[in-house]
Amino acid sequence: MKLWAGRFQKETDKKVNDFNSSIGFDARLYREDIEGSIAHATMLGEVGIVTAEEAKQIVEGLQGILADIESGKVEFTVDAEDIHMNIETLLTERIGDTGKKLHTARSRNDQIALDMRSHLKKEVGEVIALIKKLEGVLYDKAQENMETIMPGYTHLQRAQPTTFAHYMMAYAQMFRRDVGRLQDTYKRMDEMPLGSGALATSTFPIDRQSVAKQLGYARVTENSMDSVADRDFVIEFASALSIIMMHLSRFSEEVILWCSNEFQFLDLDDAYSTGSSIMPQKKNPDVAELVRGKTGRVYGSLMTLLTMMKGLPLAYNKDMQEDKEAIFDAVDTVKLCLDVFADMFKTATVKQYNMRKAASGGFINATDCADYLVRKGIPFRDAYKIVGKLISYCIEHDEYLETLTLKDFCSICSEFDASVYDAIALRTCVNERKVEGGPSHDSVTKQMESLKKFLKTI
Ligand code: ARG
């Protein structure tokens, strides 16, 4: 018999029964559901809606169910539809009629609004912990590569020299902002909806503050219709997760490029690479490719959620049950990707020599050569043109700026003297960029110190 069977004259169609049921995916909310019910029953006892003895019986019954679930003794059933009614049914089987009092002054609508918030609050914390792990890997790689000069790119063309440490700190900033977005999401999730009932609270004198306090919520929700009708906290989380995946995917793309024969900047550990079934020479960056590929799944979940909500009248609609598979899959995917990506990157070898070699060709010091002339009093636009001429001379004669003779330099501009070689040396190009945020040793050290400080706060 369904808990809601009262007004019905017929059994639910078998297909509808399966179609309607969410236990296949909301079973993962069992802990939050039971904790919420324990807090609710305790409060019912406190305000005298049930007796102290009944409250105690319900709480102990729920604790027993929790222990049974955790030791694998419970099998949920689609006939009880969802996690809420499965647990309520188990409770009544266990403690008898007192179990039927648990649902006083409560609806599954505020129950699911609570369970989802409680569950996702924990997940936010777990995602932050995994980002922290990745940030630690970035910090270590930066520390080992303070002097590793490499080309920085724009349009995937060699642009200006930087260091691998500077590069690592760029990604560290992105993931740091991701943590900020997750913390913001958490703050808005941290309000307790139980007591909203189906949509208009209850005629019983329930104490929502007590429930919020027991469950460790910062505050209670302010409007009961909003509490049960809204899923923007799920969407906000999915969008923060999508941005994390966007960052991870860009990073994966770089790893894939860097592992190619064309770049040869990075060598993945054998344990984090895969081979080809036909080409014996292949060592493929499958982990990075899968992370890049799985990004689409997470974006897909965000689109599912946004679209699911866009036409719903207030308050609860069953459409909202569809939020679970989308957000659970997004969270699982992001956690998996962060974890395996961090391990893969930690064990990868940075090919410092090849990075430096790539930075030595391609006129990566052209801006520095122009800056040199600016210091001699030539306006930047004129200096830019002079260096442009030098480069076209180099291309014609198969030279680089640093291999030109002083005579070659002076044939195009008489302001050059022997100090130009030092000015366009890669080490100078990097270390003269002392500006805050730049690639010089000191600037990167500051960025790393700031990261270290931040990591201590999360
Ligand atoms: N399984 C439902 C969900 O995930 C729980 C709430 C059901 N409420 C209802 N009135 N049918 O949204």
Q: What percent of the chain has pLDDT over 90?
A: 94
Q: Are residues 345 and 215 in the same domain?
A: yes
What is residue 37's predicted lDDT score, i.e. its pLDDT? 98
Count the alpha carbons within 13 Å of 327 in the hemisphere toward its beta carbon.
28
Site to substitute for ligand 1 among 318, 320, 327, most atoms within 8 A of C-beta? 318
- Looking up residue 10, the CATH number of its domain turns out to be 1.10.275.10
Rounded Cα gap, residues 247 and 245, in angstroms: 5
Q: Using an 8 Å Cβ cutoff, are 59 and 38 in contact? A: yes
Residue 99's DSSP bridge partners are: none
Rounded to an integer, the average pLDDT of 252-276 is 94
Q: Is the pLDDT of residue 62 over 90?
A: yes
- Looking up residue 448, the CATH number of its domain turns out to be 1.10.40.30
* Residues of the domain holding 444: 358-453
Out of 306, 337, 357, a domain closes at: 357
Distance from residue 84's CA to the centre of ligand 1 (Å): 9
Tell me, yes or no, whether 458 lies in a domain.
no
Distances (CA, A) of 260 to 160, 267, 292, 299, 340: 21, 9, 16, 27, 20
Q: Residue 361: left (phi > 0), alpha (psi -120 to 50), or beta?
A: beta
Please give the model's pTM, rounded to 2 decimal places.
0.94
Q: Are residues 243 and 386 in the same domain?
A: no
pLDDT band at 276 (very low <50, low <70, confident <90, very high): confident
Q: Are residues 345 and 431 in the same domain?
A: no
Q: What is the DSSP letter of 264?
A: -
Q: Are residues 47 and 24 in the same domain?
A: yes
Tell me, yes or no, whether 413 lies in a domain.
yes
Q: Are residues 199 and 323 in the same domain?
A: yes
What is residue 222's predicted lDDT score, i.e. its pLDDT? 98
Q: Are residues 207 and 349 in the same domain?
A: yes
What is residue 146's predicted lDDT score, i.e. its pLDDT? 96
Rounded to an integer, the average pLDDT of 424-438 is 94
Rounded Cα gap, residues 167 and 170, in angstroms: 5
Ligand 1 touching residue 86 (CB < 6 A): no
Q: Are residues 74 and 213 in the same domain?
A: no
Q: What percent of the chain has pLDDT over 70?
A: 100
Q: Are residues 363 and 328 in the same domain?
A: no
Give catalytic residue positions: 155, 276
Q: Are residues 279 and 219 in the same domain?
A: yes
Q: Are residues 38 and 130 in the same domain?
A: no
Rounded Cα gap, residues 370 and 381, in angstroms: 9
Ligand 1 touching residue 456 (CB < 6 A): no
What atom of ligand 1 comes closest to residue 84's alpha carbon? 5
What is residue 226's predicted lDDT score, i.e. its pLDDT? 98
Quick: pLDDT tens for 190-226: 999 999 999 999 999 999 999 999 999 999 999 999 9
Out of 323, 338, 357, a domain closes at: 357
Q: Using an 8 Å Cβ cutoff, are 103 and 88 in contact? A: yes
Ligand 1 touching residue 202 (CB < 6 A): no
Out of 104, 125, 140, a domain closes at: 104
Tell me, yes or no, whether 403 lies in a domain.
yes
Residue 88's contacts (CB-CB under 8 Å, 6 or more residues apart) are 3, 80, 99, 102, 103
Q: Is the pLDDT of residue 48 over 80?
A: yes
Q: Are residues 270 and 319 in the same domain?
A: yes
How many domains are contained in the chain?
A: 3
Distance from residue 107's CA to the centre of ligand 1 (Å): 9
Tell me, yes or no, whether 156 lies in a domain.
no
Tell me, yes or no, whether 92 lies in a domain.
yes
Distance from residue 244's CA to the centre of ligand 1 (Å): 30
Rounded to an integer, the average pLDDT of 422-432 is 93
Kindly provide the ipTM of the predicted complex, given to two decimals.
0.97
- Looking up residue 194, the CATH number of its domain turns out to be 1.20.200.10
What is residue 282's predicted lDDT score, i.e. its pLDDT? 78
Q: Are residues 130 and 266 in the same domain?
A: yes
**Taking all residues of the chain, what is their mean pLDDT, rounded to a whole number?**
96
Of residues 116, 139, 97, 101, the one with CA closest to residue 28: 116
